[in-house]
Chain A
């Protein structure tokens, strides 16, 4: 908690003067607000003793003026505090975002986008609220209570003391309420999230549910969550009900007691009616800040959690970074020759008793060659490819491109040397053009970039782009929903080709295409890839046909390398896997 608040102090240091001004005007507003009951007290006494028309007008005028002053001061708090604190909020958010983009993919796999998002959104907003509102209100509420008690004591010390008695329980009750209530609120949000997921899946997976007749099970799952949500909401409401009960009964009972004592005191001459009136008016004004203090204790706890959650991510160690002294890369001479030497790898979260995914992979992709990688589903073909641009880092051995270890290259250089097309195609919500030109030098003249884009699109058989609503400038909807899987895949393929890398890495880029399109794309790729070193994961035999040589990945090692024909002759495993079923023809036309 102290650590978190210490870091908070460093965050707000640049704006501390503005925040201090905000605090000052807020306290001033409270004090001005507390003056109004005093005017009431004076006037009431005046009416009791020596009433004149002038005092009545004067009292009304003073209250209007004080009210205006109070309003202006309240407005000023936001002027001072809100602007700079939202700026801090924005900066924290952007810093968070740029930080996680640099973090390795393994980090993202561990955290998941939902966790990261809630930290960038809710937690950062919570911190800002505390800076702009919580901190200031905490101090100013405390000040209001002190000043209010002083005002009340001027009416009657006894009544002020009675009021003091209830301050403590109100603060404690509010704090505890705030704490319990936020637990229920979080739980409700979680349950709502789970219900949304269940509903979504029950609709999207309707075919499976209907085919297996499992609607009842789905309903049972849903019912569990819905009951949990209902019960949680009721418990949440009970917490609120109990709190509201005390907040109504406690101060008002105290005022009832004060009424009796006050009347007795007025009767005995210890105070006058005006003072009694201003006591009641002041007490009403001070109950609010008392509750506020309790609430803000709860807020402080939540802010601490938010700070911890934020810094938990910001303090994580980045394991995949550029070397301090990277080798200079001559891009004009790069051939993309890839050598894997005794490469070992295991996921950091793999079960301990599981063997390494790769147990010494040796492979040589020669300059300009197209090498296909085959193997059974789930044996790590994609992962092997991703080791090259350091999406994951190898746990043993060495990977070199043109003789330089990928670990000795600047990450930007390494990823300029290589281009990657993934099986699951991520397109961004930009235009098609910007998606295709993602890996192309933005400094190039517009016409050159245009040519590159079209050339790549044609190579990937993505000519359909010209027929889209705005042609190549068509904006791709969120996650590319308006395009079919095959269309998205071809655009992603064009993106990899357009980058004109020395080494092209293709992770089954044709899987979503139908047979005829695939044939066309392969024919075009053969020409385009003629001089580019290419490492491609093959899904179908037709893709293998594109390659100069084939490598078979089996049980964590490269079991065989050679041309398709050679391997059919020499490797029984290859023959078993590749020969019979895949040399197949599609029955549909």
Chain B
């Protein structure tokens, strides 16, 4: 309800703003979606046309029965009467059967198209590189795949039904009426004018009110969600009553807009009904005079009246369809925009096979800029890391530490130079092979819905429960996981409120253990842990690093000191390179940092600023 509704209000507004070019682009995408199914679409149209004709035949057959069957009966010939009845029943069965075929076929086709587009979009958004994802707001990428797809679904589900079904119903009714009695047809056509005006007026008004309802209900809902998810703050700051008043007001606003909408419909529906009564009356009067004049048979008059009742039924649907169409075209334009994006980081044409890797990483004159108009984020840099070495990368924020990490993980491709793993350019490995060997754990510890175990298993989908448990134990996460209501099976989303940033980070850190890559990159992977926890993780970390090649970006010196080698990065360049001991003794930037660390250690031995005695005295 909310999906299509949302699209309905916003969609038409967006549609008005679109340029011709954009409209053409969306229709092209629609065409490319429909194109493979041309024959099915033609078949469907034939089915719906025949179904409509069969269901419209009823009153005409009744008229024929009255006008021809009755006189024949009087003469003792029952065949026309029986024939009329049989035809009527046959028409009913054909109409029903074909309607079944049509609805089912139409939906199957529409859903098949939607499904393939959904999948294409999802895959496309996954293939797009980090450059895209870091510039295009995530909300927009999501909207393309959700609300825009809803708008399109509306069109595909009801499109043919209404375009062909309802429109044809009106056209055929008109044709039948005119062919039976042209003057009555004229009368009905005349009354179509006010009915159309009424419907257009209603559609315009209702889309305005609809948008109000959407706005008001969005406010109501977001206040509700905000309060309920912030329930602890509501309680501790005693906001129950004040928030209750705000909510009452929002609920009243919502009620007012809903009332406006109901009353609008309350005017539209009876008026349309009255117009249909007027049509009956008009047909009856015009037809009545023609019967009086002997130009029309009574049976035909009855049929005309029966048709008049049905004539206006589809008009509301047709008017509504225009909104659906506008929203869908607007959605298609945005979807085609996303599909037009091209990833720059792609799989090579002829990937090099590398089933096993030792883990030697070489940067050969690598430089990088994020965008063409930006300065180099990494100056031409060369270094070689032999297999098994633990390398700490230190430097101030924005110096280029994360850039080095992202280039190794191929989040971005180097601007110049090359990065090789065991002598193979990482661009020549397909991405799957690359992520088998090189894994990066970032500071942002994103948890997916699912259990704690599921989340850890992202590191290795084949991991057994024992392996997952063992990994958690090494980093000391098993203590808090066991406290959760269902231990490793606890849904992390349902319990999001009880999972602190540190806990989330520990779970995502556990992924790295399970992934067991040849080369591991930890980009601030323990930054949210508190001091005691980090002490525990530190032990696990040494085990994790073990014999593999690893790069650690950390801002705690204790972590850095376990490295075999330190790279100090400043302004996109490596300014110091050596073992921690060497760098301390040569007296560069690293040794200054180390000195500061030493100072703070001794500083902490001093009493805190307040003396114990003071507080006792109070």
Contacts and interface: CB of A to CB of B under 8 A. Distances in A.
Contacts of A350: 483, 485
Contacts of A72: 270
A15 interface: no
Interface string A66-100: 11101110110011001100110110011001101
A5 interface: no
Interface in A319-335: none
Contacts of A64: 277-278, 281
Interface string B537-577: 01000000000000000111111100000000000000000
Interface stretch (B168-176, B382-390, B596-604): B596-604
B150, B236, B501, B614 — which one has the most chain A CB atoms within 10 A of its CB? Answer: B236
A113 B236 contact: no
B92 A248 contact: yes
Nearest to A87: B255
B280 A585 contact: no
A391 interface: yes
B142 interface: yes
Interface string A377-403: 111101000100101000000000000
A511 interface: yes
B235, B442, B459, B487 — which one has the most chain A CB atoms within 10 A of its CB? Answer: B235
A106 B376 CA distance: 52
B446 A205 contact: yes
Nearest to B495: A109
A244 B3 CA distance: 25
* Dominant secondary structure at the B interface: helix
Contacts of A68: 274, 277
Contacts of A217: 458, 461
B112 A94 contact: no
A264 interface: yes
A70 B274 contact: yes
Contacts of A259: 61-62, 65, 81, 84-85, 88
B108 interface: yes
B142 to A, nearest CB: 5
A367 B615 CA distance: 9
Given A47-B291, A284-B309, A423-B501, A584 B556 contact: yes
B528 A199 contact: no
A203 interface: yes
B501 A75 contact: no
Interface in A250-269: 250-253, 255-257, 259-260, 263-264, 266-267
Contact of A565 (B439, B554, B607, B616): B607
Nearest to B55: A248
Contact of B610 (A201, A420, A548, A578): A548
Interface stretch (A6-14, A50-58, A168-176, A455-463): A50-58
Contact of B125 (A203, A252, A539, A587): A203
A71 B271 contact: yes
Contact of A212 (B87, B262, B515, B556): B515
B533 A377 contact: yes
Contacts of B282: 60
A301 interface: no
A223 B441 contact: no
B554 A47 contact: no
Nearest to B508: A208
B395 A588 contact: yes
Interface string A25-46: 0000000000010001001100
A162 interface: no
B608 interface: yes
A102 to B, nearest CB: 6
Interface in B474-509: 476-477, 479-483, 485-487, 494-495, 497-498, 500-503, 506, 508
Nearest to A278: B302
A78 to B, nearest CB: 4
Nearest to B528: A511
B73, B228, B240 — which one has the most chain A CB atoms within 10 A of its CB? Answer: B228
A267 B125 contact: no
A64 B538 CA distance: 88
A280 B306 contact: yes
A239 B12 CA distance: 31
26 contacts: A44-B301, A63-B280, A90-B252, A113-B229, A197-B449, A208-B446, A211-B435, A211-B441, A214-B435, A216-B432, A234-B104, A234-B107, A244-B96, A256-B88, A257-B85, A351-B485, A366-B618, A368-B618, A376-B479, A378-B477, A426-B232, A429-B223, A508-B530, A565-B605, A584-B556, A588-B396
Q: List the 9 closest pairs (A to B, CB-CB), nearest first.
A: A378-B480, A67-B277, A213-B435, A582-B531, A249-B96, A256-B88, A252-B92, A237-B107, A426-B230
Given A109-B498, A201-B449, 8 more contacts: A93-B251, A105-B232, A248-B92, A256-B91, A377-B529, A377-B533, A378-B502, A479-B226
